[in-house]
Amino acid sequence: MTRYYQPEIETAPRETIRALQSERLVDAVRRIYNNVPFYREKMQRAGVTPDDIRSVDDLDRLPFSYKQDLRDTYPYGLLAVPLRDVVRLHASSGTTGKQIVAGYTRRDLDIWADCCARALTAAGCDENDVVHVSYGYGLFTGGLGADGGAMKLGATTVPVSSGNTQRQITILQDFGSTILCCTPSYALHIAEVLHQNGLTKDDIHLKAGIFGAEPWTNEMRRQIEEQLGLKAFDIYGLTEIIGPGVAFECGEQTGMHINEDHFIVEVIDPETGRVLPEGEQGELVFSAITKEAFPILRYRTRDIGVISRGKCACGRTLVKMSKPRGRTDDMLIVRGVNVFPSQIESVLLSLGYPANYRIVVDRKANNDSIEVQVEISNDVFSDTVRGLTDRGRQLEDALKSLLGIAARVKLLEPGTIERSTGKAVRVIDKRKLLD
Ligand code: ADP
Ligand code: ZN
């Protein structure tokens, strides 16, 4: 039986959601215009006033917001309420440059927790579950985000945070955790340490996992599900919009439902800024229309995805977004060819390699090169030199046919690549150091 946390919204008719979005957008535009000088000036430069925005149909008249805007106004310049009304600050993990800060009022935290509670419910969580949160707690939104959702459901929350993997295993066993929340790369590391302890999925009690904060492929999903004995659900979000819970996967595992009553999505052509029709791939743009402290309109996420409004068998009417294939910033341009790390991950995992890999891009004498370094499993490691060479070639061929350019392959001993407890670093672009 499908369960929802807020069925009146999650399964509402499209017109109801649209009307709610319009009403909230009009209100958000007014609040922003009146309370944030930075946005007021931006709107004035674009020649729009709050009176021009009457419904979601007018959304594309508003100027975009960029990460740079958050940096230029760091730390408090975009707050729409006085600091005394802000009860919490979070900061992005700074994967790509200087950190940015987001503020939350009490009501913002409440809404955020609702969004995460919807995600947890979709994964089958209720008050009988023990929710093991191994996202980092702190300025990063992962830990406290998932925690807030679990609290809403009355589940038993275990705020382990990330790291100390040996201890995570003990807790998983002893506390009987049923739901695991962490990054997908950390989930695989937990599985690895579990096995190193001579244990298997049958020695723990997990039934579902909610994994996000970084791109991951369906091949990786299968590995996690198999090794930890659970059903793996994707969750998407970013600090600028609220944190995890902007969108969440249901049991169908065919995309993430966007919490549209709080976040309006658009997909645009990143070059021209033109809004693309449903089904076309482009940059995801979000407007957070209910946040009080840190409302943000038409934020350019740089994440690449597709949205679909097709009916979902789970009964939710909220629009779905595909797994983001990565950010425009992660996209590597090697000898003029666009390469997403997630494409490489798909090839590696479908050929049976573990998700312990690194992509090294370099430039020598104006010639770009790409090297894929991947660990091999223990049984393969004992292969003959000849066997290993053949394997490397086979992988090089597979990469070449997928990417359209040659990539060198380097097979590494098990355990060589540093394990991540949060967001995994997959790419080392040495060309950046040369610029
Ligand atoms: P930072 O920008 O420093 O990494 P955040 O923690 O706010 O800080 O990260 C948000 C970003 O993480 C998103 O814009 C997206 O690129 C990535 N992300 C989050 N969840 C997912 C997911 N489920 N799949 C792919 N990427 C994700
Ligand atoms: Zn669904």
Beta bridge partners of 310: none
Give distance in angstroms: CA of 251 to centre of ligand 2: 7
For atom 13 of ligand 1, which residue has the closest CA? 238
Looking at all shown ligands, the one closest to residue 118's CA atom is 2
pLDDT score, position 221: 98
Give residues (CB < 6 A) around ligand 1.
92-96, 141, 212-215, 234-239, 301, 303, 323-324, 327
Give the number of whichever ligand sits closest to the CA of residue 254. Answer: 2
Identify whether the C-beta of residue 296 lies closer than 8 Å to the C-beta of residue 264: no
Banded pLDDT at 99 (limits 50, 70, 90): confident
Question: 121 C-alpha to center of ligand 2: Å?
Answer: 12
For the segment 322-338, the average pLDDT, to the nearest whole number, is 86
Residue 1 has pLDDT above 70, yes or no: no
- 317-326 average pLDDT score: 93
| Of 364, 328, 354, the residue nearest 417 (C-alpha) | 354
| pLDDT band, residue 325 (cuts 50/70/90) | confident
CA distance 161 to 165: 10
* CB-based burial label for 173 (10 Å; 0-12, 13-18, 19+): middle
Ligand nearest to the CA of 242: 1
Mean pLDDT computed over 68-85: 96
Q: Which of 140, 214, 239 to mutate to test the pocket of ligand 1 (most atoms within 8 A of CB)?
A: 214
pLDDT at residue 47, as a whole number: 98
pLDDT at 353 over 60: yes
Token pair belonging to 59? 């959304």
Contacts of 46 (CB under 8 A, 6+ apart): 61, 62, 63
**Residue 94 pLDDT:** 67
Higher pLDDT, 206 or 385: 206
**How much of the chain, in percent, has pLDDT values that exceed 90?**
88
Ligand 1: residue whose CA is nearest its atom 8: 92
- For 230-270, write each residue's pLDDT tens digit: 999 999 999 999 999 999 999 999 999 999 999 999 999 99
- The atom number, within ligand 1, closest to the CA of 212 reads 23
The whole-model pTM stands at: 0.94
Query: What mean pLDDT is predicted for residues 363-367?
Result: 88
Which residues lie closer than 8 Å to 412 by C-beta, 6 or more apart? 373, 374, 375, 376
Torsion of CA 105, 421, 307, 90, to 10 degrees: 20
Ligand 1 atom at shortest distance from the alpha carbon of 100 = 3
Q: What is the mean pLDDT of residues 70-80?
A: 96
pLDDT of residue 254: 97
How confident is residue 95, by pLDDT bands cut at 50, 70 and 90?
A: low
Mean pLDDT, rounded, for 177-196? 97
- When pLDDT is averaged across residues 311-321 and rounded to a whole number, the result is 97
Of all helices (H) and strands (E), which one includes residue 111? helix 106-122
pLDDT of residue 320: 98
Query: How far lies 188's CA from each of 161, 182, 340, 345, 356, in Å?
Result: 16, 10, 21, 14, 9
Q: Averaged over 14-32, what is the pLDDT?
A: 98
Residue 166 pLDDT grade (very low, low, confident, very high; cuts 50, 70, 90) = very high
Whether residue 98 is predicted with pLDDT greater than 90 in this model: the reply is no
**270: preceding bond cis by omega (within 30 degrees):** no
Determine phi and psi for 406, rounding to 5 degrees.
-80, 135
Closest CA to 260 of 55, 22, 53: 22
> For residue 84, what pLDDT band results from cuts at 50, 70 and 90?
very high
**How many Å lie between the centroid of ligand 1 and the Cα of residue 238?**
5
